[in-house]
Each structure stands twice: as C-alpha cells, then as structure tokens.
Structure 1
Amino acid sequence: MKKWLKIFIAILTSAVVLLAGGFFVWSQFTYKPSKDLTRLVPEDSYTETDGILYFDPSGTKTEAGVILYPGAKVEPEAYAFIGQELAKTGITVAIPEMPFHFAILGTGNAEKAQSSRPKIKKWYIGGHSLGGVAAANYAAKHEKSVEGVFFLASYPAESAKLKQTNVDVLSISAANDGLTSLDDIENSKKNVPDDALFYEIKGGNHAQFGLYGKQKGDHSAEIPAEEQQKQIIQYIENWIKRGSGK
C-alpha cells in the first residue's frame, strides 16, 4: 500500500473517531426533569424495566397503551407527569430511554414495550419533537399493531407516508413554540389522513410538552408548565377514548 494512502486512511479514521467521540459527549448533555416534575410525580408512581418507564393503572382494567418517545436529548423522566396522569384514567404508558437520547436511533423500542404488556390490545404511539418523527416512522411500518399516532410539537416526515394509512392521528402544538412553528404544523397536514385532529395550546411553548425547564431557541410560555401539561393529557385521553372521532 502506498504511503500516501496509509496516511489518508489514518487521517480519515482519526476524524471519524473524533466525530463519534464528540457526538457522544454532546449527547450526554441532556434536559433533565425539573423541580416541577419532582414535586408532581412521586418516585413510586412508575417502574423501570429494560430501559423503559412504565406507568400502569392501579386497581383498574387497562383500556389501552401509550408509547411516548422523548424529544432529542430529553430524559424520559421529564414526561413522567403525562404518564402518571394518563395511568389514572386506565391507560398504561411506556416511555423508553433512547440510544444517545435520540428517538430516531431507537424507533423499534415500541416493540419491546408492546411485548411487555401482551394483554393490551390497543396501542397508541407518539412523541415530542424528534420523538414524534420517530413514532410516525414506526407507526407507518407497523400499521396493524398501532391504533394511532400522536404528535407533541412535532409532525411526520413525508417518507412516513401516514396519509396512506388507516391510523388515527392527533397533533398538539403550542402558540409560543420557538422550535416547531405553527407553519410547520400547518404544512404537515398534507402528510396525515384528512380526519386527523389538530389542537393548539394558547400560551404554551416547546419545552413545556415535557417538564425539564427552559430549552435553547424556545420562546417564553405565557401559561404555567403544569397547565400546559394538563391540556396535553386531556387531549390525549379524549382522543383515545373516543377513537379519534371515528
């Protein structure tokens, strides 16, 4: 092998290692649960098995299951209030931890959650921001195993082709979102079924779809985080219980 080729390979290998290392370090600077969440959610309100947080109804028959994919670099626990409150209504909630905290790298985690609760026959999958994109990709490829997909400050990639599926779709956006604009949500309507439901939370922002504090690039919210969370929970609960209006 010529000397110049060996040098090129060595430089390329070093660059790849440095980039991979840099990405790993960057991915570890995550958004963690806020004080609001620790106040609202007792530690014993959920269990963790194989990297997935489970919120199971207590003393009631589970009617449905929800799988919630976290936003990029957001810890799963940041969505624990949503999980806790939906469980109180008889809905099991599973929130997976994602590889490097990016749901797009762990799209198939939904299968693990579904397998762990085999008695649940109706599953709904969704996510916050990038988590919603990953959830849509899963739903498009597993149409027979999910009833619907929901988006929290998110929308599907065109490649997901949800328009051609029979899954129910719910989209919840926020008026003060600095990362997922209302124009983004409006443009996404062409990529989902015509009967998809769209709701906008007045005064809400991007970060308050979870409970992890402020997020760079986001706008300030005009309503408390707990109020926004309660609206999100109500929309999801109503959507599931009425079958998305079908």
Structure 2
Amino acid sequence: MASNSVPPKGSKVRRVITRVLLGLFALLGLVTAGFLVWANVGVMQAEPGPLAAVESDPSITVVENPEAVVMSPTDQKSTKGLVFIPGAKVTAESYLSNLSGIVADDGVTVVITKPTLNLAFFDLRPLTTFTTLAPDVDQWWVGGHSLGGVKACQFAAQPDVQGLVLFGSYCANDLSGSDLPVLSLGGSNDGLSTPAKIKDASVRLPADAEFIQIDGANHARFGDYGVQSGDGTATISSEEMRSRLTEDISAFLKAA
C-alpha cells in the first residue's frame, strides 16, 4: 500500500531560509562588485603638462611607492614633511604640481597618499604608513583636498601632528578644543566645498584657524585633473594657483 507521507514542516522552513540566504549573498555580491567597479571607473588622472614639469625638475626627486608618491628636495636634507590626501577618485599625481613649490623653495618633503579604493573614507592605514616613507623628517603636518581633507582632520587629532592644511575641505570631527595650527584654503568659485559650507563647518576648527579664500579658484583647481562634475568655473590659471598655494602654505609652515 502506497505511503502518502508529508515532509516534515521543519525541512520546508530550512529550504526557505536557505533560498533567502543565498539570495541575500547574491545581492551582496552584486552590490560589492558594482561598488568596486564604480570606485575604479572614472578616476580623475593628472594632466600631463603639469605632471611632466615636476618630473623634469632637477631640484625635486619624485619616488613612486605602492602606498604613496613622495616628493623631496634633491640637494638638501628635509626635516619638515606634509602628508597630503587626495580628493575622492583623484590620483595622487594630480597634486604634484600644486605642492611642488614648497618642495623646491622650502625643502619640504610631501607624501601624497594613494587611498584604498581611491576613496580616503575607506583608507584605514595609520599615519605612520606614510611618514615612514621619509625617515629623515621629524616634523609632520597633514593635509588634504575635499574628502581627503576630512580624513586629514582625523589624522590631525594625533598629538605628534604639527598642523593641518585643508584644500577646499572641512572637518567632520571636532578640533575646536585643540591648539592645532590650521590653514584652510578655499576657492571663491568652488561649487562643491562652497565658501558657505566651509564657513558653516568652521566651528569645528580652533578659533585661531586661518581661512584664506582664493579668488577665481574652483574645486578642481586645487589639483591638476581637469573638469569635475558639479564644480564652478575657474577664472584663475593653474600657474597662478600653484603660486598662491606655494606662498600661503610656505608662510603657514614657517610660522610654526
């Protein structure tokens, strides 16, 4: 006589749970793959002209590492250094030209990081990952552009950091109770880190933080990587911008 046995109720529940979990894992995999593609597509590259000018300058030595690009003065020992963090999806090389002036003129070593997935938000490496690339330097400042500046603010909370330099950026963490020297450089035509946003976030910086607005500068002019979506239009040339940044950062470091 045939048996009409019914599968245990528990086995059906297990099958449903298994299918749900497999679906969730598949969805997670698709989201992860999509994010990895997004993080690595559309990365803004350094413009060839300014980059070539730095690489051919005999007074500057450029060394490429997996962690960062290091610029140092060729013929002198450097004791001051700046760890600089790029904006989101902008290559480290895009900032070589604008930061080269303090290397050539003031003997400062500049370490420009290569953030994880091209986004400083996901870079969990400690500051020492980058400072150890220039062992002769004994005084370190930190800085960054846009999202990189937000990350630099986190590094700036460490007691051995001498000061903070922001390019079109502002802090998410509160440094207002510290005595940290801060230089905040903004652009009058910045459509992303607008002058209003920088002003609103100024309460998270020390009361004596120095704010300088560069007339005609937009967000992308703080680097050399072309046009950026949502940005304003620059009316200052890249050469003028480099000169202004060199002058302002040099004065800030000398005052330390």
Distance 1:147 1:69 in 2: 16
> Aligned ranges for residues 93-132 of structure 1 at < 5 Å?
93-132=110-149
The structure with the largest helix share of the pair is 1
Q: CA deviation at 1:211?
A: 0.2
Q: 1:185 aligns with which of 195, 198, 213?
A: 198
Match of 1:155 in 2: 170
Query: What is the TM-score when the length of structure 1 is the normalising length?
Result: 0.92
Give the Cα–Cα distance (whole angstroms) in 2 for the partners of residues 40 and 115 of structure 1.
27
Distance 1:223 1:121 in 2: 35
Unaligned segments of structure 1, at least 5 residues: none
* Residues 1:227 and 2:243 aligned together: no
Q: Match of 2:164, as an amino acid?
A: V
Equivalent-residue separation in structure 2 for 1:7 and 1:73 (angstroms): 37
Give 1:39 shift.
4.3
Q: Kindly provide the amino acid, as one letter, of the partner of residue 110 in structure 1.
A: L
Distance in 2 (alpha carbons) for counterparts of 1:53 and 1:214? 23
* Alpha-carbon distance in structure 1 between the residues aligned to 2:67 and 2:169: 24
Q: Give runs of aligned pairs for residues 136-147 of structure 1, distance below 5 A.
A: 136-140=153-157, 142=158, 144-147=159-162
Equivalences, count:
239
The one-character-per-residue Cα deviations of 1:4-59 (angstroms, maximum 9, x if unpaired) are: 21121111111111111111111112000113323432267400123211111122
Q: Distance in 1 between matches of 2:107 and 2:227?
A: 31
Higher Cα Rg, which structure: 2
Cα drift, residue 166 of structure 1: 2.4
| Distance of 2:117 and 2:69 partners within structure 1 | 17
Q: Tell me, in whole angstroms, the C-alpha distance in 2 between the residues paired with 1:224 and 1:82.
A: 12
What is the RMSD of the two structures over their aligned residues, measured on CA atoms? 1.6
Q: CA deviation at 1:208?
A: 0.8
2: CA distance between counterparts of 1:128 and 1:195? 21
Q: TM-score by structure 2 length?
A: 0.88
Partners of 1:76 and 1:97 within 8 A in 2: yes
Q: Please give the secondary structure, in 1, of the residue aligned with 2:64.
A: strand
Residue aligning to 1:25: 37
- Contact kept, 8 Å, 1:108 with 1:138, in 2: the verdict is no
Q: Does 1:84 align with 2:80?
A: no
Q: Unmatched 5+ residue regions in structure 2?
A: 1-12
**How far 1:175 moved relative to its partner?**
0.5
CA contact (8 A) 1:96 1:109 kept: no
Q: CA deviation at 1:199?
A: 0.2
Percentage identity across paired residues of the two chains: 31
